[in-house]
A and B are shown apart, each in its own frame.
Chain A
Amino acid sequence: MGRKRNGEKRFTFSVFLKGIVHIAAGITCLMIAFILGYILIMGIPNLKPDLFAWEYNTDNVSLTPALINTVIMTVVSLAIAIPIGIFSAIFLVEYAKRGNRFVKVIRVTTETLAGIPSIVYGLFGMLFFVTAMGWRLSILAGAFTLAIMVLPIIMRTTEEALLAVPDSFREGSFGLGAGKLRTVFIVILPSAVPGILSGIVLAMGRIVGETAALIYTAGTVANIPGSDGLFSSGRTLAVHLYVLIGEGLYTKQAYATAVVLIVIVIGMNALSGVIARRCQWKTS
């Protein structure tokens, strides 16, 4: 009898838990649907051709320059962060002795870096790149700042991806008389590509969505880089959005811009999924 009641109790408890789990999942989905829906509904009707004009002026508040700046910013930041991130991860996983104290210090440092608010990066970028290096408010200063910001992400994910590569591959390669360099670059790295890619996409997301670290480093000039090239100031899409909202005059256009930003982010995620699947398919 007591046993049966116990069983009943357990049964009700499991139903209860199941309910909570479902509700939590439901809330999350609803929230995403709500935000997306709200922005799309508010934004899509405002997507006017004006908004995509080549030149920005206060009438059309075109987002095209910002879009182009975003692409440039992403490419430059990643060009800096990816090699450094991947190589340091390779060092940590493949070269440094496992359990080395130095490695632990680096790991703690990267984790700390990942937790710092982006405005602090902005402050650092302003003091160091903008002022001390004399690059003024420029895309380059912004890109370096962002590179430092996303470095921990790329490093951590690459590290995880490398650690996930089975040791049997390393043994197999060493067993054939291959050195470390060859093993890492021919066998290990290709296997880790999907993981590394996902890290890069995460980093891209951070870059595209960043504002605080850019306002004081890349400035808010709403134009495509001019003759100064990377040394000219420029605003990315997110900064553009921030400024539009801040001015309070272009709320409708801000929603439309947000739609474009969201589409870009979703597109990027989809792309990374495709690439990762391609790689996986190739390797298995």
Chain B
Amino acid sequence: MENIIEIKNADLHYNDFKALKNINMNIPKHEITALIGPSGCGKSTLLKSINRMNDLVEGCKIEGEFLLEGKNIYQDYDVNILRKEVGMVFQKPNPFPMSVYDNVAYGPRTHGIRKKKDLDDIVEDALNKAAIWEELKDRLKKSALGLSGGQQQRLCIARALAVKPKVLLMDEPTSALDPISTLKIEELAEELKKEYTIANVTHNMKQAARISDTTAFFLLGEMIECNQTTEIFSHPRNNKTEEYITGRFG
């Protein structure tokens, strides 16, 4: 099994606060990796380190190695190119206040694609992959803010896919959605892992158990356990993991 992302001895500080402590973790290609743990355990922080969203945070210092396909994320990549390779979907659907089409075309346009024909193809393809083309093909020119929450989130996934990333980071992508929309996103993730690699931060352990192949459990900035999802949810090695997944704390 090939690892698309390797994290070695990663430490992360927010000023004096140590948010990540010596993380060693791999994200296998074409799999869904779930990051679980109680609030403030560092799982989102780790996710954001992978596409350098933490660069925007004041006083954030990162040590250790983050490798994407063997190349150092913090040294060998231009940050904008990196974020093209590693897309992100956020907790709250955040479509831009523009039309559906412009939302999806935003990424490709950013990376220099201008031809109408090319953009049309990319938009259709991305919306198709996000399983929302049928719903939206007649309202491409309408404002994206008029969509339902679930549609907005799938639009955001389409928007991320439009730049053809290799990895898709999802930061609690369904926490603001109703169960049906959640299910659609989960099915979508299952489908997408054939072409992409997905890392999914979630508070929903059932979701982690349902869709992920690998699960990593974080606690207080440390990665306690990382294993195949079925292992984690049937035979957690660490007591802390068992206590968390069975709901004894957190």
Contacts and interface: CB of A to CB of B under 8 A. Distances in A.
Whether the complex brings A and B within 8 Å at their CB atoms is answered yes
Interface of A: 97-99, 166, 168-179, 182, 186-187, 190-191, 282-284
Nearest to A170: B56
B97 A190 contact: yes
Contact of B145 (A97, A187, A284): A284
B233 interface: no
Given A177-B80, A186-B106, A172 B143 contact: no
B98 A175 contact: no
A174 to B, nearest CB: 7
A173 B51 CA distance: 13
A176 B53 contact: no
A174 B53 contact: yes
Contacts of B79: 177
Interface in B67-124: 79-84, 87-88, 90, 92, 94-98, 106-107, 110-111
Contact of B90 (A99, A172, A177, A282): A172
Contacts of A166: 94
Contact of B160 (A168, A175, A186): A175
Contact of A97 (B58, B96, B143): B58
Contacts of B146: 284
A282 B143 contact: yes
Contacts of A98: 58
Contacts of B95: 172
A178 B81 contact: no
Specify which of A166, A177, A182 lies most central, judged by the most chain B CB atoms within 10 Å of its CB.
Answer: A177
Given A178-B106, A178-B110, 11 more contacts: A168-B92, A171-B90, A172-B94, A174-B83, A175-B51, A177-B84, A177-B111, A190-B98, A191-B96, A283-B145, A284-B145
Interface residues of B, number: 30
Contacts of A177: 79-84, 107, 110-111, 163
Q: Say whether chain A's binding surface is mostly helix, strand, loop, or mixed.
A: helix
Interface string B126-165: 0000000000000000010110000000001001100100
A98 to B, nearest CB: 7
A136 to B, nearest CB: 47
Contacts of B97: 169, 187, 190-191, 282-284
A173 B160 contact: no
A176 B163 contact: yes
A247 B111 CA distance: 66
Contacts of B94: 166, 168-169, 171-172
Given A98-B58, A187-B96, A175 B90 contact: yes
Contacts of A191: 96-97
A99 B163 contact: no
Contacts of B87: 175-176
Contacts of B106: 173, 176, 178, 186-187
A167 to B, nearest CB: 9
Contact of B83 (A176, A182, A284): A176
A178 B95 CA distance: 15
Contact of B84 (A176, A186, A190): A176
A175 B143 contact: no
A176 B160 contact: yes
Contacts of A171: 53, 56, 88, 90, 94
